[in-house]
């Protein structure tokens, strides 16, 4: 019996689609939580502070979700 247990691998190289989907969902959720946290933080800045960062109030979400593309 011990031989059959030792020959069984609990860490196989086969794909685990359910686990892969769960991990992907967890990553999307954690990304969205971070995005919303950052939106709230930058939303609390006044317009002058946002301008100092090179942002307008309407550009906050795009900058957080997509990054800034206008770097010099």
**Can you spell out the DSSP letters for 16-56?**
-HHHHHHHHHHHHHHHHHHHHHHHHHHHTS-HHHHHHTT--
Domain limits for position 20: 13-66
Q: Output 55 or 1, whichever has higher pLDDT.
A: 55
Question: Is residue 6 domain-resident?
Answer: no
CA 67 to chain centre: 13
pLDDT for 15 equals 76
Question: Is residue 8 domain-resident?
Answer: no
Domain count, the chain: 1
Query: Band of the pLDDT at 58, cuts 50, 70, 90?
Result: very high
State whether the Cα torsion 15-17-23-27 is positive or negative: positive
Q: pTM of whole model > 0.75?
A: no
Asked whether residue 7 carries a pLDDT value surpassing 80, the answer given is no
Question: Is residue 4 domain-resident?
Answer: no
**Gyration radius from the chain CA atoms:** 22
């Amino acid at each position: 019996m011990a031989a059959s247990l030792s020959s069984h691998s609990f860490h196989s190289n086969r794909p685990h689609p359910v686990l892969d989907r769960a991990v992907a969902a967890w990553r999307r959720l954690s990304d969205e939580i971070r995005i919303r946290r950052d939106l709230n933080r930058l939303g609390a800045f006044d317009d002058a502070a946002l301008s100092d960062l090179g942002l307008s109030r309407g550009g906050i979400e795009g900058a957080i979700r997509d990054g800034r593309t206008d770097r010099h």
